[in-house]
């Protein structure tokens, strides 16, 4: 027997669409898809439930707290104090449903989440060097996946939401009876706004906006500065994606518990 005949044939990645030779990996490669499915499913179930609740999204005292799922509150039926200047008078459903499409579209089309849910939900492929569950691959060239190209526009919408949620966080320092105060809720809203900014600023579309399409940075010193600032954030985009997702839900939970009377919003000063 020659050396060639006795060697084991290794096919990295197995075969597309086949149950045979799914993978040669011995590690727990399935752990990451399982975690992704669990966290994303839990978030979708909770946020859908919270969006349809249409109550307990605003706290008036000791400071103003608005749930990020309901901000900006654009329906005339919004709890007094949670409204901004403009309101739709004919809207009778939950005001969260008016705005949900923008943060949802931003997350859904995010390059990082795309990779995660293609792997975890479609098994396309579930992990590196693991067989793809599908026999063919058309990429994102056809409807509906071609819509993923809307990401950069959702990014702009996301920036508007970040400004509004930052306003909410600053407003949460205003005591209902006048003066400045800080509660645990203020802190929660501040952390939430910070994480959402980090998530947006670390976005690939944002980095490309600042540094993409430039032949020489020498002619664009300002863009170069932005690009230099954003690049280390971009490296941590995955971390910011998960941290901001979990914390935005926790912020809603906190406001909901305080608004329903189940929890006291303790003053820090």
Q: Which of 204, 220, 223, 267 touches ligand FES by CB under 6 A?
A: 204
195, two tokens:
């994480």
Surface-to-core class of residue 174, CB atoms within 10 Å of its CB (0-12 exposed, 13-18 middle, 19+ buried): middle
Question: Closest distance between ligand FES and the C-beta of residue 113, in Å?
Answer: 7
Beta bridge partners, 65, equal 59
Q: Which of 56, 69, 70, 112 binds ligand FES (CB under 6 A)?
A: 112
Residues numbered 211 to 240 that lie near ligand FES (CB under 6 A) are 237
For tokens 């669409």, the residue is 17
Q: By CB under 6 A, how many residues form the interface with ligand FES?
A: 9
**Residue 151 Cβ, how far from ligand FES at the closest point, in Å?**
6
Cβ 114 to ligand FES shortest distance, Å: 8
| Binding range to ligand FES, per CB under 6 A, among 33-41, 106-114, 168-176, 244-252 | 106-114
Token pair of 247, please? Answer: 């914390």
- Beta carbon of residue 238, minimum distance to ligand FES (angstroms, whole number): 9
Among 73, 130, 203, 248, which residue interacts with ligand FES (rule: CB under 6 A)? 203
Rounded to a whole number of angstroms, the minimum distance from the CB of residue 5 to ligand FES is: 48
CB of 198 to ligand FES, least distance (A): 11
Q: Report the residue number, 73 or 198, with the smaller CB distance to ligand FES.
A: 198
In this chain, which of 130, 196, 205, 248 binds ligand FES, going by CB under 6 A?
Answer: 205
111 vs 153 by CB, closer to ligand FES = 111
Nearer Cβ to ligand FES (57/199): 199
Q: How far is Cα 58 from Cα 66, in angstroms, rounded to an integer?
A: 5
Q: Which of residues 137-196 bind ligand FES (CB under 6 A)?
A: 151, 155
- Pick 174 or 204: Cβ nearer ligand FES: 204
Query: Which range, of 126-134, 163-171, 199-207, 249-257, touches ligand FES by CB under 6 A?
Result: 199-207
Token pair recorded at residue 83: 């409204």
Q: How far is the CB of 237 from ligand FES (least distance, A)?
A: 6
Residues at the contact surface with ligand FES, assessed by CB under 6 A: 110-112, 151, 155, 203-205, 237
């Amino acid at each position: 027997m020659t050396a060639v005949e006795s060697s084991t044939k290794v096919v990295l990645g197995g075969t597309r669409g086949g149950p045979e030779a799914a993978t040669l990996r011995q590690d727990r490669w399935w752990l990451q898809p399982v975690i992704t499915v669990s966290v994303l499913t839990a978030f979708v179930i909770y946020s859908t439930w919270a969006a349809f609740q249409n109550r307990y999204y605003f706290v008036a005292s000791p400071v103003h707290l608005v749930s990020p799922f309901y901000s900006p509150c654009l329906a005339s039926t919004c709890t007094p104090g949670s409204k901004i200047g403009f309101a739709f008078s004919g809207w009778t459903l939950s005001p969260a449903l008016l705005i949900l499409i923008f943060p949802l579209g931003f997350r859904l089309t995010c390059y990082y989440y795309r990779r995660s849910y293609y792997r975890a939900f479609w098994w396309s492929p579930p992990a590196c060097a693991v067989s793809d569950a599908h026999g063919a691959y058309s990429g994102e060239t056809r409807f509906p996946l071609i819509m993923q190209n809307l990401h950069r526009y959702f990014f702009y919408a996301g920036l508007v939401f970040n400004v509004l949620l930052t306003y909410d966080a600053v407003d949460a320092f205003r005591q209902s009876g006048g003066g400045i105060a800080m509660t645990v809720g203020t802190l929660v809203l501040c952390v939430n706004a910070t994480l959402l900014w980090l998530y947006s600023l670390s976005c690939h579309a944002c980095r490309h906006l600042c540094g993409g399409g430039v032949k020489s940075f020498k002619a664009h010193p300002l863009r170069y500065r932005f690009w230099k600032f954003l690049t280390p954030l971009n490296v941590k985009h995955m971390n910011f994606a998960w941290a901001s997702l979990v914390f935005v839900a926790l912020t809603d939970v906190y406001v909901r518990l305080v608004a329903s009377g189940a929890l006291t919003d303790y003053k820090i000063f």
